[in-house]
Each structure stands twice: as C-alpha cells, then as structure tokens.
Amino acid sequence: MNVHQICWNDVVEGMDLPVMSVDVTYKMAILHVAGGWDYMPGHHEPDYARRQGLKTIFLNTLFHQSMVDRTVTDWAGPLTFLMRRKIAMRGQIYPGDTIRGLGKVTKVWRGPHGEGRVDLDVVIRNGEEDVCVADCTVRLPDRLV
Amino acid sequence: MSDGASVDESGLGLAFGTYEQALTWIGRTTQANIGEVPVNAPMIQLYCSAVQDANPAYWDKDFAAQHWGGAIAPPGMLQTWTIPMQWRPEGRRTIAVMAALVPLPGDKPINVSTEFEYFEPVREGMIVTMTDRLEAISPEKTTRVGTGHFITSVSEYHDQHGTLLARATNVLFRYKATDQ
C-alpha cells in the first residue's frame, strides 16, 4: 500500500498545514453521538441545550479533539503518533456550521531517545470565530534516505 | 439534595451541595470505570465515519498490522471506551466522574478544556479503565452561559494489564443557566 506520510526531516518550523474543512450536519452530530457514546443531553436534545443557554445541540469534546487530530494527521499521515493535545473550547459548533481546521508547525525537535517530534498550534474556526484553540505534539518517523 | 432548586436532568448523576462542601472533596478519586466492551474495529470505523477520518491506520487491517502491530483506535475517541451503555436489562451504570460527583449548586455541565497525554496506542481487544481525581474547584464565576464553578480533574486510562495509556487534565464549568 502506497501511503502518504510526512517525515520528521521534512518539517520546518513555521510551516502552515493544508486547511481541513468539514460541513457539520445534524446527521453528523447524531452519528457522532452514536459512535462516541457521549450521551450528555446537550449533544442530542435541543430543549436541554436551550436550557443550557445555547442555541441548539452542539458538538462535544470528542468531536473537537477529532477535528484537531484530523487537521494534523490528514497532513502528516497514518504513521503519526499523537503524544499530547490540549484543546480549549471557546465557542460552539452547531449543525449547519462549516468549520475549518488551520494548523502551524511551532517547533521541530528530538525527544530524549532521539525520536522526531513536532509541536503544532491548531485552530478550529467556525465562520470568523475561533471556537477551539489547540496545541499538540506528535511523533513522526525519520526519512530513511 | 442540599440545594432544593437543583435537579439533575443531565443523566450524569450530578450531586448537589455548596462550594464549601465541594472543597472538602479535593484529592478524592473515583472508583475505576471499567469499559463494558473491548476496543473493537466496528466501533472504531463507526466513529471514524462520523468524523470522516480516512486514516488507513483505522480502516485498513493489513496496513495497521504492518505499521502498528494491529488495529488501533483514534486518540480522539479514547473516552468512548469507558462510557457505559445507556440501557441494560439489569439497569444501567452511570460513569463516575468527579465533575458530576462533587457536590455543587450547578445543574448544567459544559466542558472548557481538555489536555491529553498519550503514552501507548489504544489497540483492538484492550479493555480500558478510567479513574478520575478531583484537583481543584474555582470560586464562583459568571460566564456567557451562567454562574458556577470551574472543576479541574485528572483522569488516568489503563488497559486490563495495568499499562498507563493516557492521562487527561479536564476543566468543566458546572453552572446554573443565566435565564433560569
């Protein structure tokens, strides 16, 4: 199988990642609750979400995590190991929204055993609003030649 | 219930009480939440179809065997493996998380930030166990959704052999909505 994979040696500090984009639908929100088992009512019950002070059902923590992860691994490839990810949720993602994942390489470094590590900042932008701000560290393979 | 105005509609088993009571809970750890089903490929692929993640490590058995030593799960769904089913013939369990168990006035939960460190890939066949320790509770604050407390807890995820898979530091806001 021919696989696209970014190697540690090819990453440069300051690089921008390709933009990831997702149209969030009600179907996706329901499918995500069914697949992720987070049955907190704000994620599937519009009346409850409104009593929470929000517009309608909103996408959960796992979804934010996965949008950050996709922004990184859609670019870096399937041999990437996520070592650390911090997300701060500053706004909501609702069905009907189109979100974009924007990433930037902030540091390229070696771990204590010489393994290739890359730090990245990732933002999930919903319209003009940065609804999720993240930073993470991944381990990438070295290029063999 | 010490606060008669608070009712748990969240399904999380919220306990109610005062901030002063809550402070005495700092440092406590929940019982272990043991995953009801082992990590498995159909659930991995259902999840990946929801977030439209095409990563072949989650979809292609041969690729995963060759490069990861077997099927692995996306890190973004780690919490899933310790959430109980919502109905069982003998009655359902509620997940034990400190943000719900600690007595506070707030009846609405919303997550604020989550930091994960991952130490090992989560593999098909693993039974994941989670314990959660209460770290800190903020004084009362008012945000755009309501008034309540920020709760910081640290969760550890292990496999059935005791290997530490991941550690998460979570901040959740438990509040009463402004318009109530």
Contact at 8 Å (CB) between B116 and B78? yes
Domain count along chain A: 1
In a domain, B4, yes or no: no
Contact A86 B52 (CB under 8 A): no
| pLDDT given for residue B4 in this prediction | 44
Helix and strand tally (H, E) in chain A?
A: 3, 5
In a domain, B13, yes or no: no
Of A53, A68, A82, the CB nearest to B145: A53
Domain extent for A65: 8-140
Q: What is the CATH number of the domain that holds B103?
A: 3.10.129.10
Domain count along chain B: 1
In a domain, A1, yes or no: no
In a domain, A23, yes or no: yes
Domain extent for B36: 19-177
In a domain, A145, yes or no: no
User: What pLDDT, in 10s, does the model give residues A6-17?
Assistant: 999 999 999 999
Q: CA-CA distance, A62 to B79, in Å (whole number)?
A: 8
Instruction: Please classify residue A66 by burial: count the beta carbons closer than 10 Å to its beta carbon, then call 0-12 exposed, 13-18 middle and 19+ buried.
Output: buried
User: What pLDDT, in 10s, does the model give residues A53-83?
Assistant: 899 999 999 999 999 999 999 999 999 999 9
In a domain, A2, yes or no: no
In a domain, B1, yes or no: no
Place of tokens 């998460």: B168
**If pLDDT is split at 50, 70 and 90, which confidence band does B11 have?**
confident
In a domain, B74, yes or no: yes
In a domain, B126, yes or no: yes
User: What pLDDT, in 10s, does the model give residues B126-159?
Assistant: 999 999 999 999 999 999 889 999 999 999 999 9
| pLDDT given for residue B92 in this prediction | 80
| pLDDT given for residue A138 in this prediction | 98
Of A40, A63, A84, the CB nearest to B116: A84
Q: What is the CATH number of the domain that holds A53?
A: 3.10.129.10
**If pLDDT is split at 50, 70 and 90, which confidence band does B53 have?**
very high
**Residue A135: is its pLDDT beyond 80?**
yes
Contact A70 B53 (CB under 8 A): yes
**Residue B1: is its pLDDT beyond 60?**
no
> CB within 8 A of A39, min separation 6: which ones?
A33, B11, B83, B86
Helix, strand and coil in chain B, % to nearest 5: 20, 30, 50
In a domain, B115, yes or no: yes
| pLDDT given for residue B5 in this prediction | 60
Alpha helix positions (H), B61-102: 61-68, 98-101
Contact at 8 Å (CB) between B157 and B119? no
**Residue A105: is its pLDDT beyond 60?**
yes
Regarding beta strands A129-140 and A116-126, do their DSSP bridges make them parallel or antiparallel, or are they unpaired? antiparallel
**Residue A2: is its pLDDT beyond 70?**
no
**Residue A97: is its pLDDT beyond 50?**
yes
What phi and psi values does residue B29 have, to the nearest 5 degrees?
-120, 145
In a domain, B99, yes or no: yes
In a domain, A25, yes or no: yes
> CB within 8 A of A50, min separation 6: which ones?
A56
Q: Chain A neighbours among B 7-26 (CB < 8 Å)?
A: 9-12
Choose the weakest-confidence range: A89-103, A112-126, B87-101, B150-164. Answer: B87-101
Of A38, A65, A86, the CB nearest to B83: A38
pLDDT (average), residues B57-64 = 96
| pLDDT given for residue A137 in this prediction | 98
In a domain, B81, yes or no: yes
Contact B83 A65 (CB under 8 A): no
* Percent of chain B at pLDDT exceeding 70: 96
